[in-house]
């Protein structure tokens, strides 16, 4: 919020003026109200592995994170470039593999990768789109320094928090929105519906029928699945609601089976089709793959997109962007050591206490090491894991992330944050909702923002020009 000279940065000026004139007790009261609102709405999160943690709230902070119009212009240009490159990369990888032939990305990284789906080779997804929905995780390290932390191209989650956080702020502090010109986010579900419908498969005749596929009410992101289906006016289906009928994937309605044109699936590739992928999966639809191949359904995101958000591949993103767009990456990557390479590994082991080490296929902040915060014992244990299976890890320097204020009992206090803007892609173009999800490390000094690790969220404001 403050510049290095300690002055309030311009986008925060109006807000701070308001805050200083406010009674802290009133804001405290609103914060409590906001929590009750989240509970009633049922915006809860399941924490895996926790016995009593069946349903928890993600902590919500009432102070918005504010981004100026010009900062946002810069970010959104960089994100758009990145998503276009990812989509072009996926098309290439599943067709002629020019980038491998050109030696810009090692063949091993693709061929030996569990997220690479050989069955997608030569297949053209409807509209040529692989990443219908993606989320780009961004951190800030200085006034004009942004880095991309990772690209989420499988099934990025959190968009319902982006929308509900805004809704809650509008209910709690309506007067603020009259003072500060904040760009709307509420049209995301409609844009999502339009974007998905624009990718209808050849077999679709008429208005496309869109459905959201969820693993069910026990999934940690179920709230989001039902939220999106509800706001799009689409059906929320589970595997056992679906079957293949006359060459189409159809859902069991009260009047019989009805064909689905576009399936926004929130289950992983492995679970999509027990006949063609994991035979023990109960979450998917037997035979959906054959329908997909024949152009009978659009699956969003396309199967096999996971190869694009692999953490080992991440380090090649600057090359990938340049290869497909002919431009330098507008948003830089965080420098990354690939532990699969002996020289990189040696350096990582030498500097372990100052690095962040992540699993290549991990997500949600599980199984990672934050060197500066780790004990000697934890460092030693991780060192052993690294030596045993170096190819499973990448390492990055600990960035000095910028902070934004959160509301605490003692007033405003700085915390580290990241930002996940949500990006929609269809043949009609790319739509980025202004802002996105700001995740915040609620403990002082902590760099881990993942909700599964106690991180919270806050509303994100992009200001009008």
Q: How far is the CB of 217 from another protein (least distance, A)?
A: 5
Q: Half-sphere exposure of 260 toward its Cβ, with a 13 Å CA cutoff?
A: 31
Q: Out of 71, 238, 269, 309, name the contact with another protein by CB under 8 A.
A: 238
Q: Are 318 and 333 in contact (CB under 8 A)?
A: yes
CB of 176 to another protein, least distance (A): 23
Check binding of 53 to another protein (CB under 8 A).
no
> What is residue 406's three-state secondary structure?
strand
**Distance, first Cα to last Cα, the chain:** 19
3-state secondary structure of 76: helix
41 binds another protein, rule: CB under 8 A: yes
Q: Which residue has the tokens 């405003």?
A: 412
Q: What are phi and psi of 426, to 5 degrees?
A: -145, 175
Binding mask 334-373 for another protein (x = CB under 8 A): ----------------------------------------
Distance between CA atoms of residues 65 and 19, nearest Å: 14
Using the minimum distance from each CB to another protein, give the nearer residue, 262 or 430.
Answer: 262
39 lies in the site for another protein, by CB under 8 A:
yes
C-beta of 230: minimal distance to another protein in Å? 4
Output 153 or 250, the one with its CB closest to another protein. Answer: 250
Q: How many residues bind another protein (CB under 8 A)?
A: 24
Which of 75, 213, 229, 449 touches another protein (CB under 8 A)?
229
Nearer to another protein, 108 or 230 (CB): 230
Single out the residue of 24, 102, 143, 217 in contact with another protein (rule: CB under 8 A): 217
| C-beta of residue 180 within 8 angstroms of C-beta of residue 463 | yes
**The one among 56, 252, 361, 385 contacting another protein by CB under 8 A:** 252
- Residue from 4, 144, 207, 254 touching another protein (CB under 8 A): that is 254
Give residues with Cβ within 8 angstroms of 169, minimum separation 6.
62, 64, 176, 177, 459
Q: Is 222 in the site for another protein (CB under 8 A)?
A: yes
Residue among 17 and 42 whose Cβ is closer to another protein: 42
Strand bridging mode 411-420 / 369-370: unpaired
CA–CA separation, 273 and 179 (whole Å): 51
Contact characters 405-444, another protein, x per CB under 8 A: ----------------------------------------
228-232-238 Cα angle (round to 5): 55
318 φ/ψ angles, rounded to the nearest 5 degrees: -55, -40
Applying CB under 8 A, which of residues 226, 325, 398, 446 lies at the interface with another protein? 226
The radius of gyration of the chain from alpha carbons, rounded to an integer in Å, stands at 22
Of the candidate spans 118-126, 128-136, 173-181, 221-229, the one that interacts with another protein by CB under 8 A turns out to be 221-229
Which residues have C-beta within 8 Å of that of residue 231, sequence separation ≥ 6?
A: 163, 189, 190
The pairing of strands 437-440 and 411-420 is antiparallel
CB nearer to another protein: give 259 or 355.
259
Q: If binding is defined by CB under 8 A, does position 3 make contact with another protein?
A: no
List interacting residues with another protein (CB under 8 A). 39-42, 216-217, 222, 226, 229-230, 234-238, 240-241, 243, 251-256
């Amino acid at each position: 919020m403050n510049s290095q000279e300690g002055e309030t940065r311009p986008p925060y000026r109006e807000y701070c003026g308001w805050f200083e004139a406010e009674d802290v007790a009133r804001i405290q009261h609103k914060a409590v109200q906001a929590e009750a609102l989240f509970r009633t709405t049922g915006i809860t999160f399941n924490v895996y592995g926790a016995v009593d943690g069946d349903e928890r709230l993600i902590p919500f902070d009432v102070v918005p994170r504010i981004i100026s119009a010009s900062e946002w212009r810069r970010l959104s240009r960089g994100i758009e470039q990145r998503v276009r490159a990812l989509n072009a990369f996926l098309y290439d990888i599943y067709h002629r593999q020019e980038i491998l032939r050109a030696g810009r990305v090692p063949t091993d990284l693709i061929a030996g990768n569990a997220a690479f789906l050989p069955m997608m080779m030569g297949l053209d997804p409807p509209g040529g789109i692989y990443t219908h929905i993606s989320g780009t995780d961004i951190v800030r390290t200085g006034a004009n320094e942004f880095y991309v932390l990772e690209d989420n191209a499988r099934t990025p989650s959190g968009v319902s928090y982006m929308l509900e956080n805004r809704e809650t702020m509008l209910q709690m502090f309506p007067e603020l929105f009259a003072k500060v010109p904040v760009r709307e986010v509420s049209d995301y579900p409609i844009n999502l519906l339009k974007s998905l419908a624009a990718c209808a498969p050849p077999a679709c005749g008429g208005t496309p029928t869109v459905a959201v596929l969820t693993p069910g009410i026990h999934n940690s992101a179920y709230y989001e699945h039902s939220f999106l289906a509800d706001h799009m006016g689409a059906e929320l289906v589970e595997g056992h609601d679906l079957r293949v009928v006359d060459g189409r994937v159809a859902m069991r309605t009260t009047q019989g089976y009805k064909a689905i044109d576009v399936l926004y699936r929130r289950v992983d590739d492995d679970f999509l089709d027990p006949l063609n992928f994991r035979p023990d999966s109960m979450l998917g639809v037997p035979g959906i793959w054959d329908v997909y191949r024949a152009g009978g359904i659009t699956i969003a995101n396309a199967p096999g997109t996971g190869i694009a958000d692999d953490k080992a591949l991440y380090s090649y993103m600057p090359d990938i962007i340049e290869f497909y767009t002919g431009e330098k990456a507008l948003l830089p990557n965080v420098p990354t050591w690939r532990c699969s390479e002996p020289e990189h590994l040696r350096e990582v082991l030498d500097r372990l206490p100052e690095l962040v080490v992540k699993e290549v296929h991990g997500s949600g902040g599980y199984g990672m090491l934050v060197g500066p915060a780790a004990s000697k014992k934890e460092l030693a244990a991780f060192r052993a894991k690294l030596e045993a299976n170096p190819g499973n890890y990448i390492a990055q320097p600990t960035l000095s992330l910028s902070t934004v204020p959160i509301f605490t009992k003692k007033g405003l206090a700085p915390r580290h944050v990241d930002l996940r803007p949500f990006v929609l892609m269809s043949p009609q173009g790319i739509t980025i909702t202004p802002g996105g999800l700001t995740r915040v490390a609620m403990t002082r000094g902590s760099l881990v923002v993942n909700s599964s690790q106690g991180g919270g969220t806050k509303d994100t404001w992009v200001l009008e020009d």
